[in-house]
Structure 1
Amino acid sequence: MNFRTPAVRLGLLPAGIALALAPSFASAQEAAAGTTDLDRISVTGSRIRGANMETQQPILTMTRESLEKQGFSSVADVLNNLTSAGSPAISRSDSLSSGENVGGYYVDLRNLGAQRTLVLMNGKRLGATTAGYQDLGQIPMSAIERIEVLKDGASSIYGSDAIAGVVNVITRKNIDGGEVNVYFGQYDQGDGENQQYSMTLGATGERGSLTLSAEYSKQDPVWAKDRWFSRDGGKGPNSTTADWSAVSQNSTWCDPRVWGDCKARPQGQAQPEWKTLNEGGNPNNPADYHLLTPAEYANSNEQMSVLTGTERKSLYVNGTYDFTDTISLNTDVLYNERNTDQQIAGYPFQSSSFSTPLSADSAFNPTAVNGVGGSDVQFRRRLWEVPRTTESQLKTLRFAPTVSGYFEFAGKTFDWDVGALWNRNESIKSNHGDMSLIAAEQALGASFINANGVAQCGTAANPVALGDCRPWNPLLPYGVAGAGSLADQDLQDFLFPVYTTRGVTKTTSFTANLAGSIVTLPAGDLGFAVGVEHRKEEGSYVPDAFAQSGMSTGLGQKPTRGEYDLNEVYLELNVPILADMAFAKELTLNVASRYSDYSNFGGTTNSKFGLTWRPMDELLVRGTYAEGFRAPTIADLYGGLSSSFESYIDPCGITAPGSVAGNAACINGGAPANYTQLGQAGAVCGTLPCQSGDQFISGANPDLSPETSKSTTFGLVWSPRWVQGLDVSLDWYRYEISDMIIDDSVDRILRDCYVLGNTDRCSSVTRAADGHISAITYGTANLGKMETEGYDLGIKYRLPELAIGQFNIDWQTSYLSKYDEQNQNSAGDNIMMGMVGQDALFRVRSNFNVNWALGDFSVNYTARYYSGLNEDCISIGCTDPDRYAYGEKAPLRKTGANTFHDLQVSYKAPWDATIALGANNVFDHKGPLMYSQQNSSFAYYGGFDIGRFLYMKYTQRF
């Protein structure tokens, strides 16, 4: 094919040059046959255009045809199913997540974190949150032509964030006709309904084209009470110890006449008694109460979702126009609305945490006689009547025009493009279920029963109008009617306002690129690409005034506001060294370097070196070395303080692994020698890590510097002549990341303070009289370092067509040989701690796919394999209780491997339609309980299937 003819440019060049950051010539024989062809080039990862250029890096291409054979309805689900992808920390299965990033869909290549994978749409960046997360959910599935995944560092080509790799989502263009798609599915338990409707229309003319794609998608939530691993409170049906909070929806109170301030006493002493109302008892009669029993604890999972619900509306438009035979316009416009709904259990209110006791002058105080002579009463109660809900709305508007062309000079052809990007994300979060502390203080204050028998705030002599205040009786259990019941809608309206948080992020960029050939060497053309980019990132995230003031039971937050801009210039060379020689059909060197100048921290230069050697036609050898970096985000630098209820292990607790209870640091810090870690409501933690009952404070760091990385890959691609249709690829990779920007965790601070004896780290820790940690402050820092390496094996085989049909086999496997994070042992030595097999870092992930087609029928089968995981344990199910690691006792619980099976049957109807029926996890396989709640809010790995999912798809073309 002659890439220089006007006819070809009309069809290919505008689409290709629209990828301002990546040329878009097709990558492999996959598009037609599902295999890799060594005589074609890959597009993502280089800006040099040329029909003879090979890829120096491992790239996976997923065509639209392959996407349609899967049972997934979102881009993120497809990408997270890759064997080289990890499970992102924020997902639909993490219902306890909070903040700006919740509701998005993210991809995490190489388990390096979603912020270290750069996501492009037609070669240009997606808009990101202030924390640097790029939401794939804004890209409609109906608009996708193919997805290219570069599994290698690429900062020299694309700049910041391309540490782990690059995902380039390429949309459909130049369509002539139309297509309607209907997708419907649900779990065989009858929940989690997923429906998606889309329409794509296109028209092409002599000089241009217009493509429109509209999509509506809705996924209903799945509730924790309806799944075996979560319905019993987070520890599963075989647990012997309840994992529920010691706070009950039935409410408890402590008699101040007996226990004074009702605070927990030092261990070994009698503890205050907490009592709840007898069934049918009089809440004003102290004799009608009994001691709270564990059977009455609230199971918070009864009100939580395992998978959050989400709804999305998208409209994508692409237009191309050829001004002349050598100058073209390509424009992308995207509008997307996304709503995500979360629900977690009603707040575990503890009056002592907010200095809001039930007033001695309250009409509901059981220590008073006829409303006189009472004492302030401390109480605890799950606000069960009002679950906490969050509706996250995100609106995205994206406009990305590019003018491109080519010209001839000195017998050479040069391609050029000038492009721009305006991307705006506007988010609104509406929270309900957190109580206003201002209203709570009034509702728990003085009150009386008026002449009409109605509870009223104030006193008979000085009443407060019912419209201005509603009295609350927190001692009435859930489901019990009476004056001051929390079931009263007017009282709920008074105590629980709707909190609104708003955020806006903007990305603006301008690019100019020039590519061509400088000279012709004996082995071929010396190709080059050079370009400049100016980019500006702006962002703000402004919490509700209640959250900023801390005057609600919700997590406190301060505003995040900031911006930065940068200028970049890059140069890439592709140097052919040898060609058409014995044992050197091709030997090519590719080098690239990019200089970035940031307004907030200065300049950085990152380079890449790649070598491609083809000793024979059927064998390709490739290798790269790349430098990379990730700039600190707006949230990293300018984020406001926020609070959270952290789960952690206190090394001063006698049940902690490697406990140092009783050492000088613990004693001096306020932890008794026999201290057992306390959690919510001051209850002894049944399992570790254990969630705090107090809010801890974290914040940003304006002095952060960029993360830096080095990545190396080496691979082989073999297509033997004697087995037509077989392609085998094997790639080794290694990443080293330094100065990682991480949240300085509670566990890290406690370890440094109490285990390693670093007294400077103890200053932010505050302990209460009973020894539990009541407050701690921490922030982000360049403290992290990690190293990882592994292998990717790909085998694709298109069998010769047989009488019984056509078979295609695709087997992709990733082996993680190393994943080490910097830490310290008990002696204070810096060590690299191996993490493979823990924290959702699977040693092996493998997808085996077989597709059979005969006439109009086809069957697609996939087996998804995950090797076993390990987790630290205290007493529950320890398989290796005597294990030692890095000089410390580190008991371990091991779980076995898991395989999930998917099946789809499709039929191409005579009226140009395709009908498909399928099931993901067709055998309803259940993964193991994971008490460490890896990538989940429950005792189950968040990336595993939670049931058998059945679906149907209908596609009508016209």
Structure 2
Amino acid sequence: MSTGQATYGSTVNSATADITGELFSLPAGAVGMAAGLEHREVRGYDRPGQFEQSGYSTDLAGNATTGRYTVKEFYAELQIPVLKSMPFAELLSFNLASRYSDYSNFGNTTNSKASFMWKPIKDVLLRGTYAEGFRAPTVGDTFGGGSQSYDNYLDACDMVNGDASINPTTRANCIAGGVPANFRQVNQTGAFVSSGGGQTPTPFNTGAGNANLTPETAKTRTIGLVYNPSFLPGLNVGLDWFNIKIDNRITGVSAGYVVERCYVYGETGFCDAIKRDPVTGQIVNLSRGNANLGQMETEGIDLNLGYRLPRTAYGQFGVRSDTTYVDTFRTRSAEEWTNYAGEYYYNRVKSNVSLDWSMGNWSATWTARYYSGTKTRCWSNTAALVAECSNPQASVSWGTGYNKAGSLTYNDVSVGYALPWKGKLMIGANNIFDKKPQIIYNTASNFGGNSSGSAVNPDMPVDRFIYVRYNQAF
């Protein structure tokens, strides 16, 4: 018996200097300015105990992570009011901003933003934004020590089920890499794997840092309007289109991806991460971590509605609705785009509708949270004669066949009372009817195979949650 030991920590040292003020005046108002400098040093470490690193514990062995980087930044921002209280320009203003960042571990980057607000008439506001962004690799991304992992994958060099069985180029690459001409991949029990792959009998190394990572970069575009009709006080309508695209995406790669890039696509940099047994050809070690892989893009519409009814003898009521429709949520690494909108956890429509009430010190809210139906992998359990596959012939991102998971609605309620000393007591329940979440089969084979993994949507509650909350203002 051994007591596990580990030490971890992080430190951020920063120095900043900021200046704000007004540069000059325009007919619509003063031009505002903000600028600043910042210097940051980020250090972090995560060191498992020696016994945990050895691999002799019941946990998978993990290596130490230790790293640091520094960054120097400069930013500037302008708020420019152009027009005000004029025909077809009740308001017109622009916001411009830019930030320069110089990182010690990958270099420099400049990211800028431009946005506008325009009210052609008092009841209508038009707005839009174009923004550049980036996400720098973390200490773990760059300096991670990695840990053991028993991966499920299909070796592309398997001469019966792998790509080598149908692709002469892959077969030639495998043989040139020392793989026997009659090679068959085996799993932990020593049996040949099927076309679905199998679990490696020896541990691989996953999560290792990649010193060659560069930042993710992003472009965000939005345009929309807000409508507050003067003939109906209390009504507010907002409609916005959004498009967000991420390039150079930092993501973890799978064992199958590493093998595929080496032998199918001939990318020798991935071959360096693979070690095979010189006699059997079995992969006995493979190192995989994070890499800059491809792109991600999402596009959709946000609709916001609100109406505060006139006060009555029974209190004041209000209705709020926030709805998002996702038309596209897609990724690609090196080949074609794959759109996941409407599949797995990626509901096309999510909507919150709330009814508010207040009277004196009392207040209450009832909220209904709606999630549209999704397409999930088919699943079957031959022994129990249970199958879930509503559309076995339909095409989806993972191939053919899906099971339709219906929409779900959860209800939350809360009641609050404002106390004389600026305190507020609130009692509530989320998922008050205790609706159970859906099971999503996300790693199963197609209809007719057994599920190898399932999960629930992380956005959905797993049971009823009752709470009491007290807030005190000063």
Pick the TM interval, shorter chain. 0.7 to 0.9
Which position in structure 1 is the counterpart of 2:77?
A: 572
Q: Whose relative contact order is higher, 1 or 2, with alpha carbons under 8 Å and at least 6 apart?
A: 1
For 1:553 and 1:788, the matched residues in 2 are separated by 41
Letter in 1 for 2:374: L
1:735 and 2:229 matched? no
Identity of aligned residues (%): 38
What does residue range 445-456 of structure 1 map to in structure 2 within 5 Å?
none
Q: Residues 752, 956 of structure 1: CA spacing in aligned structure 2 closer, same or farther, 3 A cutoff? A: closer
Q: How far apart are 1:917 and its partner, in Å? A: 3.6
Which position in structure 2 is the counterpart of 1:79?
A: none
For 2:258 and 2:189, the matched residues in 1 are separated by 23
Q: How far apart are 1:895 and its partner, in Å? A: 1.5
User: Which residue among 393, 410, 428 is the counterpart of 1:882?
Assistant: 393
For 2:27 and 2:106, the matched residues in 1 are separated by 44
What does residue range 65-76 of structure 1 map to in structure 2 within 5 Å?
none
For 1:627 and 1:687, the matched residues in 2 are separated by 43
Which position in structure 2 is the counterpart of 1:614?
A: 119
Q: How far apart are 1:557 and its partner, in Å? A: 2.1
- 2:183 touches 2:280 (CA, 8 Å); kept in 1? no
Question: Number of paired residues?
Answer: 450
Q: Residues 579, 759 of structure 1: CA spacing in aligned structure 2 closer, same or farther, 3 A cutoff? A: closer
Larger radius of gyration: 1
Which position in structure 2 is the counterpart of 1:837?
A: 342
Q: How far apart are 1:871 and its partner, in Å? A: 3.3
Letter in 2 for 1:511: T
1:709 and 2:225 matched? no
More strand by share: 2
For 2:184 and 2:393, the matched residues in 1 are separated by 23
Which position in structure 1 is the counterpart of 2:432?
A: 922
Which position in structure 1 is the counterpart of 2:449?
A: none
- 1:535 touches 1:565 (CA, 8 Å); kept in 2? yes
Which position in structure 2 is the counterpart of 1:940?
A: 456
Letter in 1 for 2:460: F
Q: Residues 683, 724 of structure 1: CA spacing in aligned structure 2 closer, same or farther, 3 A cutoff? A: farther
For 2:443 and 2:310, the matched residues in 1 are separated by 46
Q: How far apart are 1:581 and its partner, in Å? A: 1.0
For 1:771 and 1:868, the matched residues in 2 are separated by 45
Q: Taking structure 2 as the reference length, what is the TM-score of the superposition?
A: 0.83
For 2:285 and 2:338, the matched residues in 1 are separated by 28
- 1:662 touches 1:672 (CA, 8 Å); kept in 2? no
Q: Residues 538, 906 of structure 1: CA spacing in aligned structure 2 closer, same or farther, 3 A cutoff? A: same
Q: Residues 762, 956 of structure 1: CA spacing in aligned structure 2 closer, same or farther, 3 A cutoff? A: closer
Secondary structure in 1 aligned to 2:236? strand
What does residue range 854-873 of structure 1 map to in structure 2 within 5 Å?
854-873=359-378
Secondary structure in 2 aligned to 1:499? coil
Structure 2: runs of 5 or more not aligned:
381-386, 445-452
Which position in structure 2 is the counterpart of 1:174?
A: none
Letter in 2 for 1:758: G
For 1:957 and 1:607, the matched residues in 2 are separated by 38
Q: Residues 625, 854 of structure 1: CA spacing in aligned structure 2 closer, same or farther, 3 A cutoff? A: same
Q: State the superposition RMSD in angstroms.
A: 3.5
What does residue range 581-730 of structure 1 map to in structure 2 within 5 Å?
581-648=86-153, 660=163, 662-663=165-166, 665=170, 669=179, 678=187, 692=200, 694-698=202-206, 699-730=208-239
User: Which residue among 286, 310, 324 is the counterpart of 1:776?
Assistant: 286
Q: How far apart are 1:714 and its partner, in Å? A: 0.9
Q: Residues 574, 735 of structure 1: CA spacing in aligned structure 2 closer, same or farther, 3 A cutoff? A: same
For 2:181 and 2:49, the matched residues in 1 are separated by 36
Q: Taking structure 1 as the reference length, what is the TM-score of the superposition?
A: 0.43
Which position in structure 2 is the counterpart of 1:251?
A: none
For 2:232 and 2:423, the matched residues in 1 are separated by 35
Letter in 2 for 1:848: V
Q: Residues 559, 526 of structure 1: CA spacing in aligned structure 2 closer, same or farther, 3 A cutoff? A: same
- 1:933 touches 1:939 (CA, 8 Å); kept in 2? no
Secondary structure in 1 aligned to 2:212? coil
For 1:686 and 1:873, the matched residues in 2 are separated by 19
- Structure 1 window deviating more from structure 2 (875-884 vs 845-854): it is 875-884
Secondary structure in 2 aligned to 1:922? coil
Q: How far apart are 1:783 and its partner, in Å? A: 1.8
For 1:919 and 1:661, the matched residues in 2 are separated by 57
Which position in structure 2 is the counterpart of 1:530?
A: 35
- 1:688 touches 1:874 (CA, 8 Å); kept in 2? no
What does residue range 95-494 of structure 1 map to in structure 2 within 5 Å?
none
- 2:293 touches 2:333 (CA, 8 Å); kept in 1? no
- 1:823 touches 1:833 (CA, 8 Å); kept in 2? no
Q: Residues 916, 771 of structure 1: CA spacing in aligned structure 2 closer, same or farther, 3 A cutoff? A: farther
Letter in 1 for 2:465: F
What do residues 806-845 of structure 1 show as CA deviations (whole Å, max 9, x unaligned)? 1122211111111221135xxxxx2121121234222111
Which position in structure 1 is the counterpart of 2:450?
A: none
- 2:131 touches 2:219 (CA, 8 Å); kept in 1? yes
- 2:377 touches 2:441 (CA, 8 Å); kept in 1? no
Secondary structure in 2 aligned to 1:836? coil
Q: Residues 648, 799 of structure 1: CA spacing in aligned structure 2 closer, same or farther, 3 A cutoff? A: farther
- 1:672 touches 1:771 (CA, 8 Å); kept in 2? no
Q: Residues 764, 613 of structure 1: CA spacing in aligned structure 2 closer, same or farther, 3 A cutoff? A: same
For 2:192 and 2:433, the matched residues in 1 are separated by 40
For 2:427 and 2:133, the matched residues in 1 are separated by 44
Q: How far apart are 1:655 and its partner, in Å? A: 12
Q: Residues 802, 640 of structure 1: CA spacing in aligned structure 2 closer, same or farther, 3 A cutoff? A: same
Q: Residues 499, 613 of structure 1: CA spacing in aligned structure 2 closer, same or farther, 3 A cutoff? A: same
